[in-house]
Structure 1
Amino acid sequence: MNKLKILPVILISINSFLWAQEGKLKKAKTNIDNFAFVEAISSYSELVKKGYNSKDIFSNLGNAHYLNANYKEAANWYGKLLKLNTTDIDAEYLYRYAQSLKSIEKYSESDSWMQKFNKAKADDTRALKFNKNKDYLEQIKITSGRYQIENLKINSKASDFSPSFYKNDLLVFSSARDSGIAKKNIHAWNDKPFLNLFKTDKQSNGNLKEPVKFSKKINKKTHESSPTFSKDGNTIYFTRNNSSNGNFSRDKKGISRLKVYTSTYKNGVWGNIRELPFNSNDYSVAHPTLNSDGTKLYFASDMPGSIGASDIYVVDIKKNGKFGTPQNLGDKINTEGNETFPFITDSNILYFASNGHPGLGGLDMFAAEMSNTVDSPVINLGEPINSNKDDFSLIIDETSKSGYFASNRKGGKGDDDIYSFLELKPIVFNCSNTIQGIVKDIENGNTLSNAIIKLINDKNEEFTVISNESGHFKIDLKCGNKFNTAHVSLEKYEYSTINFNVLPKESQKLIEVLLSKVKEEAPLNSDLFHLLNLNPIYFETNSSYIKKISYKELDKIVTYLKDNKAIRVDVRSHTDSRGSDKYNLWLSNKRAKQTMDYIISKGIDKGRLTGKGYGESQILNNCSNSVKCSEEDHQINRRSEFIVVE
């Protein structure tokens, strides 16, 4: 066959292939931009199989899975992204990768990436909170075990979440359980049906009845979710996608923003459905909750002025029904991550979901006391409320100590399931506790009195106590104080620091503080052997070789010389009178040299050492030649000296 004729066909095929792949890349990017994540995942995955790999492909695949709470796949693609080692990867991917690793319970690896995120964005509130709570897993263990949970029988194979109390025993919640027959009712974000509001009531046996749709007036061809009701049950606030005449509506960027709507119940019908005035086509407002007297509305939003992707706000509801100006709850509650699904109790405790505060993975549930926003800590509710997956939309009846929340954890019936819970032990936000400790000498374990213990919390407030005659100390403090350092000082002892938190009383342990004596610089002509309380330096019989048992004694000399670099030492070796004078002098010189060589081998400059053997010339008792003496008396003369000469 003529090669010139086949060439154009090959070129056309190559160009067609390239155009096809470029088209797929463009389509995948368009799907990402339009939040059509399921289609984007399919397009990008096909390209990866054909050998394509790039920062954009890996980051978009990671994002598509991350925003659909598929954290295992998100971790896979973010991991590939960060292995590219390019310098222009946004630090946010370090955080998302760390969060994804948490959700597959790789906590050590997650913490390592959080350290990298901390270096990249040290001023990020998520980095700051992690840096102050590196022992967050231990703290979560302390707050765990307070709840008994149960998966509701009314859950479907679809998504069920965002429960709300309504008129005594009624429960209203969001569900995608009966939509999705027609293609137009499938959401491109996650390929799941649109949400509607459902209601259920308790039967005489306490079980919930089969749910039914809440109201045709409120449920439209959009997402409806996260309802909250006034005390009389005649006013509802709920979340809905931006819509036009009840139909799904997008902005110029192709995004359908979330808005909060309200409706009133009159003559057996929900009507007068209207948007709240601070909604916008340019940002989302969602997940409302009312305080006990209906004067404040809490909600989540990414409106201008937000710290992160979603912040919690509060707005006053005036007597005339108008609204004040929404106020951001600040960086104690909000982070650069997502804070969402608020619920405010009658006692003014705010429960909310967050992936910005240190947690177990995905969204965790937290609580904060809103009447004391200055001193009250933000508390992770711990297990079993929280898991390594998304846990959110918690509500609680403080009278019965029972409530509901949603989670997509393993073992559920659907994508998100609603769980009931019973609070077995209340959260302690502010309590006083007695910190007790004891100060001891690290070498001999003796207790030490008059030690000064100065505690400094994360607000730079100081608390000082002194150990008593038995070495004990105690101080009354507020639970929740985070102590970065405790400074301990005592005359003739090394200055020391310790780290600990003030924990609930049942969890607090006795703190043991161990102090080391200051190693005083030896006076001129003093013998380090006596100063350091050394055991005798032993050699092999009739040999200059040091016995291994004496290595640790010589190591004490080495440590002292390293700590006191200005000191020079003369090593002097002595024998008893047994044996000839000439032999004893030779042997002692060899032993002095072996001793010096060992010390030098441990890193001491040979210029700091001199040495000499004295044989039997400096007997300390009357055990000279021809005098009968006991072995103990001879031992006194067989000695090593380490005399400070400078």
Structure 2
Amino acid sequence: MKTISKYILVTFVSLFATIALAQNGKIQSVKDDYRDFAYVKTSEVLLEVANKGYKSADLFQKLANSFYFQNKMEDAAKWYGELMNMEEVVDPEYYFRYALALKGIKDYEGSDKWMKKFNELKPDDLRGKAFLSKVDYKSSIEELSREDIEIVNLDINTELSDFGTTEYENSIVFSSARGGGRKYRWNEEPYLDLYAVEKDEEGNFGEAKAVEGEVNTKYHESSAVFSPNGKYMFFTRNNYHRLKYKEDESGINRLQLYRATLSDDGTWDNIHKIHFNSIDYSVAHPALNLTGTKLYFASDMPGTFGQSDIFVVDVNDDGTLGEPENLGTSINTEGQESFPFINTNGDLYYSSTGFPGLGGLDVFKSEGLDKKVKEGSNRNFPIQNVGKPVNSAKDDFGYYENLVTKRVYFSSNREGGKGSDDIYTFEIPELKLLVEGTVEDLNSRELIPGATVILYDENGNEIMRDTVGDEAYFNFEVDPKKEYLIRAEKDKYTSDEKRFITPNKNQELKMVLLIEQDEQQIEPCDDLAKVLDIPIIYFDFDKSIIRYDAEIEIQKVLAVLTKYPTMHIDIRSHTDCRGAATYNEKLSDKRAQSTRQYLIDNGIDADRLTAKGYGEARLVNDCGCEPSNDSNCSEEEHQLNRRSEFIITSINGKTCEEKE
């Protein structure tokens, strides 16, 4: 895990509760180092013990944890696996860590297995709930990933830890262990300081220089953020102020927030501690909104749900702060949430181990959170994983973006870097989303030239329209992550429309709009059932009473006859083969007459209507009942023959010469 993230994690939790009694002298010899978070030395000794064949839950816990907090997930997964093989009762938290370690080596199937076990033992834990609510999280992350982004490892990175970028004037400010001097026992790297490096007009960086003034000390400094007027800087430092280094009762030095003021000579001085800092908990990673009225940060102060949570606090005009408030369980989990950032749109970016991700810390986003906080809305803030390439199987954090220059910086300890943590950058590519397709006939699927295609926004406001040519092709450029409605229409056709939400990646959206003729030319001898797509009129077996569903269809025939007063039709009724032929002929005639009478009763002149029953003489399938035809037809197949037809015998003076 990255440097500062490790510092925060170990100061946020009294690591793994009490360390169990050691199994031999060598384990005891590193007990103090383990408690003091000097994991490099610890893991070496514990590994030597384990390699000699010693086995115990305590040994495997310490060894796995040592690798886990060095972010050596392959080794961590190995020793957590050995711990699980002991089949002893362990804290469910080890199931969660084992799942993360497996995810860190891209064993997602194994990770999911142990997350389910973790959830079984801690069903109320938000991390397990988040996993179960989105078991298919990997496919969701893939959908949010961007293949058009190419990340670059900054030239300013060293073989040591460099991370946590923010912009200030024409420079970027970041944390680095490059300063030399005394080393931090955890990772044997020098303590962190804040550095600034100027960027020239061509986008190249110069030499990194330590931030001038009283900010940097012999202990850790990181995560700076500047007020909109440039007068204040908030940053993270160990509990070290005015040459006093303070630890809590357990001997842990916590992280705290400090505020520096810009002096006339351009240095940062007049260092003040934030009033809600405490010797008993950590406060770190400040982030300001666009107006500088809200400060977001990470802490394990009372009211925290997990190892660290994201909080928000009002910023007064003089740079002092109000009282902090936890952002709630839609943002925070029992895991680690840290490194918040608010862009100029008010979107929150932060890193978390508690929500389903690709491994380690993943970067998540909650759109419009700052506005919701200002409005005092409830604490239901939807989040989403930002996907690859920002997120990886390792730790990804410290996200920062400039929406004007389209430049993004983030930090990661992924494979292929120069040091333990590196700063990466990319330019947000312009998304080119195209919705395109054709307009076709619903029934024949032939192209429909001359149709009009209209694009609407989610509120139904027209954005643009186009009339398609001979190829019936349309295309519109659309914005990412927005809802649209697209409609095709043409005179004498019914319209077709589709609602869709655009993705957050470059791709073409293809669709076919199917419209149907609403008015067709009709001629004598045409069957209204076919011309106007009027379904067959069905009757129940051995009945001539018009069913309710049949009445609905006859109403369509009635509407056509009313619209065309010169139209005459012949109603032809049919039965299936079951029953005597003479009986069927009489039954079908009753059905035809019943249909005719219904139309007369509803206003159609009797002399426009003829009706006749044909019995079983005109079957539409092979469901005959002759002894030689043992078809074993189903009831549904027989019903196809119990039908009525509506043949136009004349219209507008033209007659049908069809032979019956």
TM-score of the aligned structures, taking structure 1 as reference length: 0.62
Gapped regions of structure 2 (runs ≥ 5): 1-20, 434-480, 484-499, 512-625, 633-660
Contact 1:220 1:247 in 2 (8 A): no
Counterpart among 329, 344, 361 of residue 363 in structure 1: 361
Counterpart among 405, 411, 416 of residue 410 in structure 2: 405
Are 1:50 and 2:58 counterparts?
no
3-state SS of paired residue (1:147): coil
- After superposition, what is the alpha-carbon deviation per residue over 1:539-584, rounded to whole angstroms, capped at 9, x for unaligned? xxxxxxxxxxxxxxxxxxxxxxxxxxxxxxxxxxxxxxxxxxxxxx
Q: How does 1:466-545 map to 2 (within 5 A)?
A: 504=503
- After superposition, what is the alpha-carbon deviation per residue over 1:365-397, rounded to whole angstroms, capped at 9, x for unaligned? 111020347676311111111111111001111
Counterpart amino acid of residue 353 in structure 1: S
Which residue of the partner structure matches residue 3 of structure 1? Answer: none
Q: How does 1:18-97 map to 2 (within 5 A)?
A: 22-86=24-88, 88-97=89-98
Which residue of the partner structure matches residue 297 of structure 1? Answer: 295
Counterpart amino acid of residue 47 in structure 1: V
3-state SS of paired residue (1:358): coil
- After superposition, what is the alpha-carbon deviation per residue over 1:393-413, rounded to whole angstroms, capped at 9, x for unaligned? 011111122121111111111
Contact 1:261 1:273 in 2 (8 A): yes
Q: How does 1:127-206 map to 2 (within 5 A)?
A: 127-145=128-146, 147-167=149-169, 169-180=170-181, 185-206=182-203
Change in Cα spacing, 1:271 to 1:111, as seen in structure 2 (3 Å) is: same
Q: Bigger shift: 54-63 or 403-412?
A: 54-63
Hey, what's the Cα distance between the residues in 2 that align with 1:23 and 1:289?
46
Counterpart amino acid of residue 96 in structure 1: R
Hey, what's the Cα distance between the residues in 2 that align with 1:64 and 1:275?
33
Gapped regions of structure 1 (runs ≥ 5): 1-18, 429-478, 482-500, 511-632, 640-646
3-state SS of paired residue (1:46): helix
Following superposition, the deviation at residue 70 of structure 1 comes to 1.8
Counterpart amino acid of residue 226 in structure 1: S
Q: How does 1:374-393 map to 2 (within 5 A)?
A: 377-393=382-398
3-state SS of paired residue (2:151): strand
- After superposition, what is the alpha-carbon deviation per residue over 1:430-455, rounded to whole angstroms, capped at 9, x for unaligned? xxxxxxxxxxxxxxxxxxxxxxxxxx
Following superposition, the deviation at residue 68 of structure 1 comes to 2.1
3-state SS of paired residue (1:227): strand
Contact 1:28 1:40 in 2 (8 A): yes
Following superposition, the deviation at residue 322 of structure 1 comes to 3.3
Hey, what's the Cα distance between the residues in 1 that align with 2:405 and 2:187?
37
Contact 2:412 2:423 in 1 (8 A): yes
Hey, what's the Cα distance between the residues in 2 that align with 1:34 and 1:71?
21
Which residue of the partner structure matches residue 542 of structure 2? Answer: none
Change in Cα spacing, 1:82 to 1:296, as seen in structure 2 (3 Å) is: same
Change in Cα spacing, 1:507 to 1:60, as seen in structure 2 (3 Å) is: farther
Change in Cα spacing, 1:638 to 1:70, as seen in structure 2 (3 Å) is: closer
Hey, what's the Cα distance between the residues in 1 that align with 2:196 and 2:395?
23
Counterpart among 336, 342, 345 of residue 344 in structure 1: 342
Change in Cα spacing, 1:349 to 1:20, as seen in structure 2 (3 Å) is: closer
Q: How does 1:304-323 map to 2 (within 5 A)?
A: 304-323=302-321
Hey, what's the Cα distance between the residues in 1 that align with 2:360 and 2:215?
30
3-state SS of paired residue (1:148): coil
Hey, what's the Cα distance between the residues in 2 that align with 1:66 and 1:50?
21
Hey, what's the Cα distance between the residues in 1 that align with 2:25 and 2:70?
25
Contact 1:72 1:100 in 2 (8 A): yes
Which residue of the partner structure matches residue 574 of structure 1? Answer: none
3-state SS of paired residue (2:150): strand
Which residue of the partner structure matches residue 106 of structure 2? Answer: 105
Contact 1:62 1:74 in 2 (8 A): yes
Contact 2:246 2:279 in 1 (8 A): no
3-state SS of paired residue (2:30): helix
Change in Cα spacing, 1:267 to 1:187, as seen in structure 2 (3 Å) is: same
Are 1:267 and 2:267 counterparts?
no
- After superposition, what is the alpha-carbon deviation per residue over 1:190-226, rounded to whole angstroms, capped at 9, x for unaligned? 2221101111001232211121111252111101111
3-state SS of paired residue (1:278): coil
Contact 1:339 1:354 in 2 (8 A): yes
Following superposition, the deviation at residue 42 of structure 1 comes to 2.0
Following superposition, the deviation at residue 59 of structure 1 comes to 1.2
Contact 1:58 1:80 in 2 (8 A): yes
Hey, what's the Cα distance between the residues in 1 that align with 2:91 and 2:193?
37
Which residue of the partner structure matches residue 567 of structure 1? Answer: none
CA RMSD in angstroms, aligned pairs only: 3.2
Following superposition, the deviation at residue 246 of structure 1 comes to 3.9
Hey, what's the Cα distance between the residues in 2 that align with 1:187 and 1:81?
29
Hey, what's the Cα distance between the residues in 1 that align with 2:238 and 2:382?
34
Following superposition, the deviation at residue 480 of structure 1 comes to 11
Change in Cα spacing, 1:106 to 1:427, as seen in structure 2 (3 Å) is: farther
Hey, what's the Cα distance between the residues in 2 that align with 1:311 and 1:23?
38
Counterpart amino acid of residue 362 in structure 2: D
Contact 1:40 1:64 in 2 (8 A): yes
- Report how many residues are paired: 429
Hey, what's the Cα distance between the residues in 2 that align with 1:173 and 1:404?
10
Hey, what's the Cα distance between the residues in 2 that align with 1:332 and 1:35?
31
Contact 1:502 1:508 in 2 (8 A): no
Contact 1:142 1:507 in 2 (8 A): no
TM-score of the aligned structures, taking structure 2 as reference length: 0.61
Counterpart amino acid of residue 288 in structure 1: P
3-state SS of paired residue (1:294): coil
Which residue of the partner structure matches residue 333 of structure 2? Answer: 335
Hey, what's the Cα distance between the residues in 2 that align with 1:119 and 1:75?
20
Following superposition, the deviation at residue 320 of structure 1 comes to 4.4
Counterpart among 213, 221, 225 of residue 224 in structure 1: 221
Which residue of the partner structure matches residue 3 of structure 2? Answer: none
3-state SS of paired residue (1:314): strand
Q: How does 1:549-568 map to 2 (within 5 A)?
A: none
Change in Cα spacing, 1:638 to 1:406, as seen in structure 2 (3 Å) is: closer
Change in Cα spacing, 1:248 to 1:635, as seen in structure 2 (3 Å) is: farther
3-state SS of paired residue (1:59): helix
Hey, what's the Cα distance between the residues in 2 that align with 1:241 and 1:179?
18
Contact 1:201 1:208 in 2 (8 A): yes
Following superposition, the deviation at residue 43 of structure 1 comes to 2.3
Hey, what's the Cα distance between the residues in 2 that align with 1:54 and 1:427?
57
Contact 1:355 1:362 in 2 (8 A): yes
Change in Cα spacing, 1:82 to 1:503, as seen in structure 2 (3 Å) is: farther
- After superposition, what is the alpha-carbon deviation per residue over 1:177-197, rounded to whole angstroms, capped at 9, x for unaligned? 1314xxxx1111122211011
Contact 2:104 2:359 in 1 (8 A): yes
Following superposition, the deviation at residue 257 of structure 1 comes to 0.7
Counterpart amino acid of residue 204 in structure 2: N
Counterpart amino acid of residue 262 in structure 1: R
Contact 1:221 1:248 in 2 (8 A): no
Q: How does 1:277-288 map to 2 (within 5 A)?
A: 277-288=275-286
Contact 1:353 1:364 in 2 (8 A): yes
Q: Percent identity?
A: 44
3-state SS of paired residue (1:205): coil
3-state SS of paired residue (1:35): coil
Counterpart among 416, 423, 438 of residue 421 in structure 2: 416
Contact 2:22 2:58 in 1 (8 A): no
Contact 1:354 1:366 in 2 (8 A): yes
